[in-house]
Structure 1
Amino acid sequence: MTASEALISFAHGLPKAELHLHLEGTLEPELRFALAARNGIPLAQSTVEEVRATYDFTDLTSFLAVYYPAMGVLQTADDFHDLAWAYLRTAASQGVVHTEMFFDPQAHTSRGVPFENVIGGYRRAVVRAQAELGVSAELILCFLRDFSAEHAMSTLMEALPYRAWIVGVGLDSDERDNPPSKFAAVFARARAEGFLLTMHCDIDQPGSIGHIRQVLTEIGVDRIDHGTNIVEDPELVALVTERGLGLTCCPVSNSFVTEQMKSDEIVGLMRAGVAVTVNSDDPAYFGGYVGDNYVALAEQAGLDETDLVRLALNSFAASWLTPARRADYVGQVEQYAAAHGVPLPA
């Protein structure tokens, strides 16, 4: 099913929050070339087409093999600012009014880039987005799970002077043999320092359902990233529903490693009252920003405008906004729906 032009326009204009977005995953080939030239870094590819030809992913491992080397062009605070600013401008054009963005400092500090360059550049873009775009943005520091827990703890300590700039911490990268419990002490310390918590439970990984159970019952997260394998355990579905925890789903990136982009699971959870959200993950690599993901899911699952309104409302319900700010954004969604003659979800 192909979405109508009206639905596509509605989806892109719909006020929404994006809660699962890796800043490093927004590095478009054009910006990669520009930063390489700025920093005197030679690239193996010479055209945008050659870069995109390397985006042949069949699983998380094959994606990461391309993803991390591309970050080598990011060196200075200006580079990180330019990366985040490019994403924020695109996000604003697709209806994003609030975003909570992942960043991976270990991917940069491990190659000699100072932490202050990373956080300083990103923070400048956050401040600028509010002033120039009217987009609210927060940063979530992600630990790389294929690094040691000790490295994660030292990164947490390095982040503490910037506590006011970081809303929470997360866990990403290669999940194989790197269960959530490996980082239990790090996340306990982060909680004690006042950070909110989320963790990736990637789709169809070995031990997926066990990892989801760990993040809920041992770590005590405030949100789960991906997490659609939770449908395998009705008791865990009931638990996230009871706690009102959001799942940050990414349909287009899912489609690279599974059939139907997990649309049946995402929509089934939505119908069951779980706060599933739609996000773009690594849009420069998977070819779709957040509005595009709303459209892709609508096309795959036959969703209508009221369903998209539900997903937008979920995005704010699952966000880490204060109650007053959340209520304001919910009002914006309701006004947008009313202006387009779209009934609100029951």
Structure 2
Amino acid sequence: MRQRRFLPNLSLLLAFDAVMRAGSVTGAAQELGLTQSTISRLIQSLEAQLTRQLFIRHKKRLTPTEAARRYFRDISGALDIIQRASMSVIANPDGGTLDLAVLPTFATRWLAPRLPGFLSQNPGISVNLATRFTTFSFDAEPFDAVIYYGSDDWPGALHLKLFDERWTACASDAFLSHHPIAGPEDLAGAELLQLESRPGAWADWFQGQGFARPEGAEGMMMDQFSMMIQAAISGLGVALLPDYLAQIEIHEGRLRPILRPAVPGHGAYWLAWPERKAGLRPLAVFRDWIGARMAQDDVHAPRE
């Protein structure tokens, strides 16, 4: 249950937000189309409700206190969320918007090519995408859900497992013409391209080949699979890719698989969402769709 004394009237918050952004009562009054005296009264009312001084007054100038600066950071984000929600209702009254955080390579290589099908099947629903690499709080970020790599441990969230990560090593024809690979031991002197967030991936792959990682088998460190793919295509080394990405490059002839493909790793891809948004229609529809699409594409099926 929300307590009204902690929920100031929107007019008070808009006046406060305008003063903080404009840096003066005069600027806030011009922005909101109100008189300076009205803005001053609204600020005083907000201070009275919060029982905290938000501005130090000196010769008709307002200097925000540290409490005001902290409050502004939170209130500004909350007003943005309210504005986006209102715009969504106006633009999409019968559908809704899904704000989704997603890993960049998964978004561009798997999700984006399939998203038109989802949107055509669900007219009225729109999807906004933003990339995120690290864990964030759903209370602090305006997302309805996130697709990420790891375990089912996103804080304060419910989870749907999309697929287990499996590794396939790939290289270009140009690279293999100079570095033929008949067995794991032939990778001892090769450049093994690595992802910063998967430091144990090559060890898992060598274990899956029944072979210990050779001494001195190292290579470039990268922070995105898309960068690793391009490096491998250019002949800079051997890329270790999630199998769903490797299959794209293999099918299109840009890379060739090396030895045993689809070696099991230790992580998975997940869809996570805050429990309070579990009934959000765009999220529920997307959740059902992506689960069915994963099964249709057989992305998560084990390969021997």
Normalised by the shorter chain, which TM-score bucket? under 0.3
Q: TM-score, normalised by structure 2?
A: 0.25
**Which structure is higher in strand share?**
2
Structure possessing the higher radius of gyration over alpha carbons: 2
**Which structure is higher in helix share?**
1
